[in-house]
Amino acid sequence: QKEVEQDPGPLSVPEGAIVSLNCTYSNSAFQYFMWYRQYSRKGPELLMYTYSSGNKEDGRFTAQVDKSSKYISLFIRDSQPSDSATYLCAALLYKTSYDKVIFGPGTSLSVIP
């Protein structure tokens, strides 16, 4: 079982739709949960990170974490064509000697004008 799992898609939605992206994880020791956006042939860009269960909102983006079910989500409201990218969920494993980010495989999103 992979530590962070994500449906690779592709996901195609019309402009203005609400997008829901989801991940599950297996390791209870993960402490931070992140969402990155990656455009084609570019490096990932951090969108949001959360520490505890609950919701965190930033503009059109809402990140949600449910530690009891090991489930993380990203919601995008009023989706725009510029949101078309691959979205990577990730989790941070922190130990006293090192910390390490584990990435999911990413979900490819296309927002159609």
- 31 near 51, Cβ under 8 Å? yes
Question: Which strands form 61-66's sheet, in the order they lie side by side?
Answer: 4-6, 19-25, 71-76, 61-66, 54-58
Residue 105, interface with another protein (CB under 8 A)?
yes
Residue 61, interface with another protein (CB under 8 A)?
no
Q: Closest separation between CB of residue 46 and another protein, Å?
A: 7
For another protein, which stretch binds (CB under 8 A), given 1-9, 14-22, 59-67, 68-76? Answer: 1-9
For another protein, which stretch binds (CB under 8 A), given 15-23, 55-63, 68-76, 94-102? Answer: 94-102
Residue 72, interface with another protein (CB under 8 A)?
no
- 87 near 36, Cβ under 8 Å? yes
Longest alpha-carbon distance in the chain: 48
Count, residues near another protein per rule CB under 8 A: 27
